[in-house]
């Protein structure tokens, strides 16, 4: 994947990464895969695809009233009966 230095594209990927709690590289890869599935290779098409994915995630988060990172944090919380559990002696 060649390095794309377009500021607007990188900003959208950074927002996408932040909303999904993933790295910017993973967000860019997600956009690249979606663009490859649609058969689009130009920068403008990638910007549109990245924006479309970001809009879908924001819409989904607003419908659920909880962001992806908040739901992930909720899953990582220990249950009351498992708080003091240790694997080692």
Whether 2 and 35 have beta carbons less than 8 Å apart is answered as: no
What percent of the chain clears pLDDT 90, i.e. is strictly above it? 45
- Whole-angstrom Cα distance, residue 45 to residue 51? 10
- Whole-angstrom Cα distance, residue 20 to residue 7? 20
What pTM did the predictor assign? 0.67
pLDDT digits 0-9 by tens, 55-82: 998 888 777 766 666 767 777 776 666 6
Segments of 1-89 assigned E as strands: none
């Amino acid at each position: 994947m060649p390095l794309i230095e377009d500021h607007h594209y990188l900003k959208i990927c950074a927002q996408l990464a932040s909303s999904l709690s993933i790295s910017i590289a993973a967000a860019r890869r997600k956009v690249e895969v979606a663009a490859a599935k649609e058969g689009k290779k130009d920068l403008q098409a990638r910007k549109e695809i990245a924006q479309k994915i970001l809009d879908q995630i924001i819409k989904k988060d607003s419908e659920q009233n909880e962001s992806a990172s908040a739901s992930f944090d909720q899953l990582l919380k220990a249950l009351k009966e498992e708080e003091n559990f240790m694997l080692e002696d």
